[in-house]
Chains A and B, each alone.
Chain A
Amino acid sequence: DTEVTQTPKHLVMGMTNKKSLKCEQHMGHRAMYWYKQKAKKPPELMFVYSYEKLSINESVPSRFSPECPNSSLLNLHLHALQPEDSALYLCASSHGGPSGAGNTIYFGEGSWLTVV
């Protein structure tokens, strides 16, 4: 099973709403990632978790709040978003650890977020 599952596939939310994106993997991976992708642009790294601890935050605004409740789950909590935050949000995972940089990263199909 080499699958990263993201829910929901589509989400429409108002600027005052609080919502969450969820990501799950059962490959035993210890590194998990959130990427953001705008239309016709490459994915941009937002956060990296390694062994359930936040290891990289790419200066993401605090209206995006990641959470890693256990080694299989990764959430992205959304609050007070702006219309320009509308994008495809991709979750990914890989084997963590010292040799992690050479390891394959597996991506989910993404969650399409529209902020109105």
Chain B
Amino acid sequence: DAKTTQPNSMESNEEEPVHLPCNHSTISGTDYIHWYRQLPSQGPEYVIHGLTSNVNNRMASLAIAEDRKSSTLILHRATLRDAAVYYCILRDVSAGGTSYGKLTFGQGTILTVHP
């Protein structure tokens, strides 16, 4: 499975933007880039995903490099409720592949938000 590399931790101040980087240099053409987050004592929660183009939703934006070897999750205005572990995950879309449909978590980035 293609792997991702994220910083172990990042800090931000409340109401400031946060840019969470992710490197995935071995990404294949059939891998979607997914971001999930896990708040304390909860199950992981979907944030956003994309394939090639930048994506926006009500929670965040996803900026994908042109060569797809890296991506950045952007939280436009961090709140205290955004403090969580953020996971960048590659998910194989090629039907029949051994990793088809699997969501394999890496170590993630622990985001701390200061008031």
What is A's interface to B at a CB cutoff of 8 Å?
A: 4, 31, 33, 42-45, 48, 50, 55-56, 90, 92, 96, 98-102, 104-110
Contact = CB atoms under 8 A, between A and B. Distances in A.
Q: Could you say which of A31, A96, A102 has the most chain B C-beta atoms within 10 Å of its C-beta?
A: A102
Given A42-B108, A99-B93, A104 B103 contact: no
Interface of B: 30, 32, 36, 41-46, 49, 51, 85, 87, 91-95, 100-108
A101 B93 contact: yes
9 contacts: A43-B105, A50-B101, A55-B101, A90-B43, A100-B100, A102-B49, A105-B44, A109-B43, A110-B43
A92 B101 CA distance: 13
Contact of B43 (A42, A50, A96, A107): A107
